[in-house]
Amino acid sequence: MAKKIVIANWKMNPLEFSKAKTLFSATRTITKLLKKTKVVIAPPFLFSQGLGVRKNGLFLGAQDALWGSTGAFTGEISVSMLKIIGTDYVICGHSERRSMGESDAIVAKKAYAVYKEGMTPVVCIGERERDANGTYLSFLAQQIRESLSLIPKKDIARIIIAYEPIWAIGKTAEEAMDSRKLHEMTIFIQKTLSGLYGRNSADKVLIIYGGSVEPKNAPDLIKNGNVSGFLVGHASLDAKGFGAILKAVDAL
């Protein structure tokens, strides 16, 4: 069976490096027991090098990146810099970045740059809200089509899609998407990918879910949601809870 993957998106947390180290070492202890699950830690850039993520057998993630290597781009971190420090996965087009003005065209350039450097782009898609007419479905199809538009067809299986409905982010397990709806959505995403890249390639693209994954809903979501893993925000800041999510994924 294909490996499962869980990405910890620490966002702009924790405040101090000492706290990041404590969180990381507690997380790492739990991951030692896992057999089938890849664990990616995406800390704030500032902490990326100090934690020793890869040295400890985990994968290093980044929460964003700009294409290119060096240049006059105040405040940015380039894909080449991330590559050099050993980054494996880069989140592209997280809704919190899209809400600051990142368009599908920008996400496409970022995803392509990450791919070109040999890292894995984790391309985020997700609707802000749902409507009875299903307009959100065409919105999602467009996000998929445009955000992946620069990736060569033959390599589409190197991308991970993170489906993160915005209305479910940063809430509680009770308010997250349920596994039945998630299953429907993953079928829709697979169909959209099939239409663009053919069934064979589409089936190889990993789809993960993000949006209030907590210890409480993780077992059902991974069992019945038709996903290959999770992108976990707030619950990844508590090593014990994150550990419970990892165990649920690994147990499958």
Determine which residue in the list 4, 6, 8, 9 makes contact with ligand PGA, applying CB under 6 A. 9
Helices vs. strands in the chain: H and E counts, helices first: 9, 8
- β-pairing verdict for 206-210 and 89-92: unpaired
Residue 127 annotated as catalytic: no
Give the C-alpha separation, 103 to 241, whole Å. 33
Shortest Å, Cβ 233 to ligand PGA: 2
169 is a site residue for ligand PGA (CB under 6 A)? yes
Residue of 117, 127, 164, 214 with catalytic role? 164
106: exposed, middle or buried (C-beta count within 10 Å: 0-12, 13-18, 19+)? middle
**What is the x/- site pattern for ligand PGA, positions 207-246, by CB under 6 A?**
---xxxx-----------------xxxxx-----------
110 is a site residue for ligand PGA (CB under 6 A)? no
Query: Of how many residues is the chain composed?
Result: 252
Shortest Å, Cβ 15 to ligand PGA: 17
34-42, 141-149, 164-172, 239-247 -> range binding ligand PGA (CB under 6 A) = 164-172
Residue 16 annotated as catalytic: no
Four-CA torsion 215, 55, 116, 202, nearest 10 degrees: -40
